[in-house]
Amino acid sequence: MASSEEQLKSELLLEELKRRQRSKEIVDVEEERLKVIIFHCGANRYAFYGGDVREFLPNCKISWVPGLPDYLPGLINVRGDIESVVDIGHFLGEPQSEPFTGLIAMAVRGDFRSGVMIDAIQDVVDLPLSAIGPPLATLEGAARDLVSATIVYGGETISLIDLGKVAAKISL
Amino acid sequence: MSAPDAGEQVAGAVAEPGHAALNLLLFSVGGVRFGCDAEQLTGFAAWEGEEGGDLFRFHEELGFGRPVAYRSPTALSVGTGGKGSYRVLIDQLEEIAEFSIQKLRPLPPLLEPLALRKGIWGVLPLEAQLVLLVDFQLLLKKKAEQGGGRHETEQGDSA
């Protein structure tokens, strides 16, 4: 029989279980995750950082404004606030259909605040940071300037768009 | 011409008692609705085809970049403070109405600098549409800074 100073086997086991649980919790905390929004634009899929997008607006009427470049197709009315719209397909070499029938992603990143035209949302996923890779070396053109990383989703490598870089590119 | 900055003009209108509303002349050109401060105008008249060095087509002044047909053209005479005649041809004159300053909205920062170059300084959400507010004094000022003259060649206008 165990002395009063000796721990019961169940107590030892319970301690071990709790230690393992704490250890797992620590691992979970340390494994940072990143929310990304995967979307269609033209013939390809891309992703935004989830924290950059506030909401998606369907069926938005874009009011054209004269004198603006092609990548700024106009204005939208979001519950009384007037917001600009960026045609990101212009930079990605993905022409938008006419008339535009997709979604507007309301993006906020630092001082940059604008709607961004996309065709459709594919998915919203939480990925471990370890799943984020560097941009593809084969990226060409303006897209290379907008992409900060890649993710693998459904067996496909998808470029992660950095809206901060978009903002820098279109700063007037 | 000493045209006030658009921002100053709006701020002044908000700050001064008795100026909490703006008389806007609403019109459309090429299917786009615009509004201008009626106080900037000295008159308007139906356009019957007469030309002149002081007459400019609105879509050229604002850089539409596409042909525009004028079906019900009206020539607006813009006050220049005695610095010459300046008339602008618009289409589809709608009405002159008073709107509360509270209903007006600034342009989003992303495109405001470009729009201001064309005299567009704000937006009036109206009947599920957006009316672009144009300041002809600001437009004249920007034209003077850019060397004046027409921005585009004649393209496809018809009365």
Return the closest-CA partner of residue B44 out of B3, B4, B9, B88.
Answer: B88
A171 to chain B: nearest residue by CA?
A: B110
Q: For residue B151, with 0-12 CB atoms within 10 Å meaning exposed, 13-18 middle and 19 or more buried, which class applies? A: middle
Cβ separation of A75 and B130 shorter than 8 Å?
yes
Given a cut of 60, whether residue B140 has pLDDT beyond it is: yes
Confidence of residue B13 (pLDDT cuts 50, 70, 90): very low
Q: Find which of B64, B116, B130 to mutate to test the A interface (most A CBs within 10 Å of its CB).
A: B130
Q: Where residue A118 sits, what CATH number does that domain have?
A: 2.40.50.180
Distances (CA, A) of A55 to A76, A88, A121, B107, B125: 14, 17, 11, 20, 21
The reply to whether A120 falls in a domain is yes
Amino acid of residue A144: R
> Is A70 at the interface with chain B, CB within 8 A?
no
Candidate from A138-142, B117-121, B154-158 with smallest mean pLDDT: B154-158
CB-nearest partner of B117 from A67, A80, A81 = A67
pLDDT of res. A96: 72
pTM of the model: 0.78
The reply to whether A5 falls in a domain is no
Q: Give the alpha-carbon dihedral of A135, A139, A144, A149, to 10 degrees.
A: -20
Q: Which two tokens stand for residue B129?
A: 């549409």
Q: Which residues of A touch B110 (CB under 8 A)?
A: 72, 84, 86, 112-114, 170, 172
Dihedral (CA of B17, B20, B26, B28) sign: positive
The reply to whether A8 falls in a domain is no
Per-position b or e across A28-37, b if 16+ CB within 10 A of its CB: eeeeeebebb
Cβ distance A96 to A42 under 8 Å? Answer: yes
pLDDT tens for residues B87-112? 999 998 999 999 999 999 999 999 99
The distance of Cα B84 from the centroid of its chain, to the nearest Å, equals 18
The distance of Cα B94 from the centroid of its chain, to the nearest Å, equals 14
Cβ separation of A66 and B65 shorter than 8 Å?
yes
The reply to whether A60 falls in a domain is yes
Would you list which residues of chain B are within 8 Å, Cβ to Cβ, of chain A? 32, 59, 62-65, 105-111, 113-115, 117-118, 120, 123, 125, 128-130, 132
- The count of CB pairs under 8 A between chains A and B is 70
pLDDT of res. B30: 95
Per-domain residue ranges of chain B: 21-154
The reply to whether A16 falls in a domain is no
Cβ distance B145 to B56 under 8 Å? Answer: no
Q: Read off the pLDDT of each residue in A36-63 and give the average, rounded to a whole number.
A: 93
Per the structure, the count of domains in chain A is 1
Looking at per-residue pLDDT, the higher value among B24 and A2 belongs to B24
Cβ distance A68 to B111 under 8 Å? Answer: yes
pLDDT tens for residues B30-68? 999 999 999 999 999 999 988 888 999 999 999 999 999
> Is A59 at the interface with chain B, CB within 8 A?
no
The reply to whether A3 falls in a domain is no
The reply to whether A94 falls in a domain is yes
The reply to whether A37 falls in a domain is yes
Confidence of residue B120 (pLDDT cuts 50, 70, 90): very high
Most confident of A19-23, B7-11, B125-129: B125-129
Q: Read off the pLDDT of each residue in B3-20 and give the average, rounded to a whole number.
A: 44
Q: Read off the pLDDT of each residue in A128-150 and give the average, rounded to a whole number.
A: 84
Q: Taking CA A70 as the corner, what is the angle to CA B55 and CA A101, rounded to the nearest 5 degrees? A: 115
Q: What mean pLDDT, rounded, does chain A reach?
A: 86
CB-nearest partner of B62 from A66, A80, A83 = A66
